[in-house]
């Protein structure tokens, strides 16, 4: 007899989902029984950290990550992290244990009431199978739903007595299924796009996270060079999709309507690839586009295409479309853009370091292929100006703006990319949301480096308080934190740096150690 448990593990094995991220409760123990030797279980101490690690792992591998949560309570703890995964198009298969079927109706302790509705709208699809025999099909469907563009998290709740039941007939067909999307534009549509680009007098390109997720950065570079186009990163970008050292690169767009419109002034065509149009933040009313400017978006997400307030949209495979455009458009006779001048090195000064000085030291010492995970939100614009990020998968940021992403994501990304050094740059306010991920880094010997920018305040909130003219609000400062003590308590080596020399020494040591390490840096507010 093939049980539901056996059938589901075979599906997971064949689909390559053999790394689990979880924090189990009683409802999940029957699923984890007889855990196969060719699988691995990465334990996190809190569900937000669990999903954050899986998010980073899935983004870095480009394949679905597998998460196992504890019923409603664990799902609730994970919701903020799910918001980041939803907005970053991260393929996650999230499972949660449910009470036994005969106890769901009376809502016994640990029942996930209305389980399928709980994680919405932060998942592409969710379900609780109507009987045990439907569990393998639901799991198979979840895996393919998560991975198909636009990728995203999915959720399956499984009563824990289902695992021992006999699987239904035909279950053997599920394990080796493949579901793929053929998303190349038609020849007619491609010709229209090429005609628009070649006919523009002064085009500009805005690239977003899905370019990097599609491993299409080189195609974006080729198209920009062919058309001599300046290139901006989309506002609040969660990944870096264009080399920051390239002559065409202009920087990171701000997140205000009026500011973006001012920057795009003078361009008759805006090509947005792999990004929402646009992800605004602060309320800054104005014209969405300058007068006479046309916008065309190429996206893998029908929701992003339809909710945009202006422009035309094409839903297509990002990589294939960028490559076809670069190969088809004619070489422009316009001169190439002049490279943006890099800022001068920040001087050393007594007292806490400036963020500029911190990033200069990191940029000088880090390997050129380092991966940066950012959650020092008040210094993001400075980071983009001073860190050289040139390769695919070099940068990750919380796509929904929810704190708690970077520290566990750095652990997950380092686990997925052991050949590259992962460096988390994390604010002292942000780090506390998922500090438990340090334990996982220590226990599994995952050598990520965590740089804590310690200025004693929620810097981004202080900036926003100024924007909203509400400076006299409580709760903006976080004094009295000792991150070195916290890190050591979780088993991670830690160093306090109060000067440029101390930071450089600590970073050299961390890079040479091949162990997880936390560096607490005294910084000035940005």
Q: Per-residue pLDDT for 464 more than 90?
A: no
Q: What percent of the chain has pLDDT over 90?
A: 89
What pLDDT, on the 0 to 100 scale, is given for residue 22? 97
Peptide bond into 150 cis (omega under 30): yes
What pLDDT, on the 0 to 100 scale, is given for residue 180? 84
Q: Per-residue pLDDT for 477 more than 60?
A: yes
Question: How far apart are the C-alpha atoms of 318 and 239, rounded to whole Å?
Answer: 15
- Mean pLDDT over 283-296 rounds to 95
Q: What is the average pLDDT score of the chain?
A: 94
Same domain, 324 and 213: yes
The strand pair at 153-159 and 92-98 is best described as parallel
Nearest CA to 140 out of 101, 111, 119, 167 is that of 167
What pLDDT, on the 0 to 100 scale, is given for residue 465? 56
CA atoms 83, 85, 87, 89: torsion sign: negative
Q: With bands split at pLDDT 50, 70 and 90, how would you rate the model's confidence at 468?
A: low
Q: With bands split at pLDDT 50, 70 and 90, how would you rate the model's confidence at 282?
A: confident
Same domain, 95 and 51: yes
Q: Which residue has the tokens 């970008």?
A: 237
What pLDDT, on the 0 to 100 scale, is given for residue 280? 93
Q: With bands split at pLDDT 50, 70 and 90, how would you rate the model's confidence at 457?
A: low
Model pLDDT for residues 94-144, shown as the tens digit of each residue = 999 999 999 999 999 999 999 999 999 999 999 999 999 999 999 999 999
Same domain, 102 and 139: yes
- Mean pLDDT over 234-250 rounds to 97
Same domain, 364 and 499: yes
What pLDDT, on the 0 to 100 scale, is given for residue 471? 73
Same domain, 447 and 359: yes
CB 94 within 8 A of CB 123: yes
- Work out how many domains the chain is built from and give that number: 3
Of residues 74 and 402, which shows the higher confidence score? 74
What pLDDT, on the 0 to 100 scale, is given for residue 456? 66
Same domain, 142 and 200: no
What pLDDT, on the 0 to 100 scale, is given for residue 181? 84
Q: Domain containing 218: what range?
A: 187-328
- Mean pLDDT over 262-290 rounds to 95
Same domain, 286 and 379: no
Active site residues: 25-26, 28, 47, 70, 281, 401
* In-domain check, residue 179: no
Same domain, 314 and 374: no
- Mean pLDDT over 502-507 rounds to 97
* In-domain check, residue 319: yes
Segment among 182-186, 267-271, 323-327 with least mean pLDDT: 182-186
The strand pair at 517-522 and 269-273 is best described as unpaired
Q: Per-residue pLDDT for 412 more than 70?
A: yes
Same domain, 515 and 373: yes
Q: Per-residue pLDDT for 51 more than 90?
A: yes
Q: Per-residue pLDDT for 298 more than 80?
A: yes
Model pLDDT for residues 136-180, shown as the tens digit of each residue = 999 999 999 999 999 999 999 999 999 999 999 899 999 999 988
Nearest CA to 421 out of 365, 350, 463, 475 is that of 365
Q: With bands split at pLDDT 50, 70 and 90, how would you rate the model's confidence at 196?
A: very high
- Mean pLDDT over 25-33 rounds to 96
Model pLDDT for residues 341-364, shown as the tens digit of each residue = 989 999 988 889 999 999 999 999
Q: Per-residue pLDDT for 473 more than 70?
A: no
What pLDDT, on the 0 to 100 scale, is given for residue 117? 97
Question: How far apart are the C-alpha atoms of 506 and 143, rounded to whole Å?
Answer: 42
Domain final position from 173, 206, 240: 173
B/e letters for 21-38, b = 16+ CB within 10 Å, e = fewer, are bbbbbebbebbbeeeeee
What pLDDT, on the 0 to 100 scale, is given for residue 226? 97
Q: What SS3 state is found at 135? A: helix
Q: What SS3 state is found at 452? A: strand
Question: How far apart are the C-alpha atoms of 343 and 392, rounded to whole Å?
Answer: 24
Same domain, 254 and 374: no
* In-domain check, residue 76: yes
* In-domain check, residue 75: yes
* In-domain check, residue 181: no
User: And the tokens for 66?
Assistant: 């597998």
Where residue 135 sits, what CATH number does that domain have?
Answer: 3.40.50.970
Segment among 253-257, 335-339, 426-430, 456-460 with least mean pLDDT: 456-460
* In-domain check, residue 338: no
Same domain, 300 and 382: no
Q: With bands split at pLDDT 50, 70 and 90, how would you rate the model's confidence at 478?
A: low
Determine how many CB atoms are found less than 10 A away from the CB of residue 367. Answer: 10
Same domain, 222 and 246: yes
* In-domain check, residue 500: yes
* In-domain check, residue 512: yes
Domain final position from 173, 207, 222: 173
Domain final position from 313, 328, 343: 328
Question: How far apart are the C-alpha atoms of 386 and 364, rounded to whole Å?
Answer: 10
Q: Per-residue pLDDT for 521 more than 80?
A: yes
What pLDDT, on the 0 to 100 scale, is given for residue 525? 77
What pLDDT, on the 0 to 100 scale, is given for residue 476? 60
CB 438 within 8 A of CB 490: yes
């Amino acid at each position: 007899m093939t049980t539901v448990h056996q059938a589901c593990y075979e599906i997971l094995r064949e689909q390559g989902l053999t790394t689990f991220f979880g924090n189990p409760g009683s409802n999940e123990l029957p699923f984890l029984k007889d855990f196969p030797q060719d699988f691995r279980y990465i334990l996190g101490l809190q569900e937000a950290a669990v999903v954050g690690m899986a998010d980073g792992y899935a983004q870095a591998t480009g394949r679905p990550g597998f998460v196992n949560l504890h019923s409603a309570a664990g799902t609730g703890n994970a919701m903020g992290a799910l918001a980041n995964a939803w907005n970053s198009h991260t393929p996650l298969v999230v499972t949660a244990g449910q009470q036994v079927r005969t106890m769901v109706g009376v809502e016994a302790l640990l029942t996930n009431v209305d389980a399928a509705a709980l994680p919405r709208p932060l998942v592409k699809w969710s379900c609780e199978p109507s009987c045990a025999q439907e569990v393998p099909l639901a799991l198979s469907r979840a895996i393919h739903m998560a991975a198909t563009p636009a990728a995203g998290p999915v959720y399956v709740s499984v009563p824990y007595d289902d695992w021992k039941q006999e699987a239904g007939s035909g279950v053997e067909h599920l394990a080796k299924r493949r579901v793929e999307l053929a998303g190349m534009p038609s020849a007619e549509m491609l010709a229209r796009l090429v005609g628009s680009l070649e006919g523009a007098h002064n085009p500009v390109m805005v690239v977003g996270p899905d370019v990097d997720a599609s491993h299409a950065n080189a195609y974006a570079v080729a198209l920009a060079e062919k058309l001599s186009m300046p290139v901006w990163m989309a506002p609040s970008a969660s990944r870096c999709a264009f080399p920051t050292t390239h002559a065409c690169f202009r920087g990171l767009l701000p997140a205000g309507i009026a500011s973006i419109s001012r920057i795009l002034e003078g361009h008759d065509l805006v090509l947005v690839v792999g990004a929402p149009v646009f992800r605004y933040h602060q309320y800054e009313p104005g014209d969405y586009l300058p007068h006479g400017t046309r916008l065309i978006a190429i996206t893998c997400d029908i929701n992003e295409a339809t909710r945009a307030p202006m422009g035309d949209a094409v839903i297509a495979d990002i990589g294939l479309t960028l490559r076809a455009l670069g190969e088809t458009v004619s070489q422009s006779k316009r001169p190439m853009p002049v490279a943006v001048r890099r800022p001068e090195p920040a001087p050393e000064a007594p007292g806490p370091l400036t963020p500029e000085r911190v990033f200069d030291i990191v940029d000088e010492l880090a390997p050129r292929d380092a991966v940066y995970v950012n959650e020092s939100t008040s210094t993001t614009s400075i980071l983009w100006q001073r860190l050289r990020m040139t390769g695919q998968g070099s940068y990750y940021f919380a796509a929904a703006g929810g704190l708690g992403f970077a520290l566990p994501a750095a652990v997950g990304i380092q686990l997925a990319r052991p050949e590259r050094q992962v460096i988390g740059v994390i604010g002292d306010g942000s780090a506390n949301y998922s500090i438990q991920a340090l334990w996982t880094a220590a226990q599994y010997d995952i050598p990520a480096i965590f740089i804590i920018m310690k200025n004693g305040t929620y810097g981004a909130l202080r900036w926003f308080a100024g924007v909203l003219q509400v400076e006299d609000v409580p709760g903006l400062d976080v004094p009295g934190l000792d991150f070195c003590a916290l890190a050591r308590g979780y088993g991670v080596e830690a160093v306090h740096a109060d000067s440029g020399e101390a930071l450089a020494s600590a970073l050299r040591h961390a890079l040479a150690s091949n162990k997880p390490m936390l560096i607490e840096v005294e910084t000035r507010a940005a």
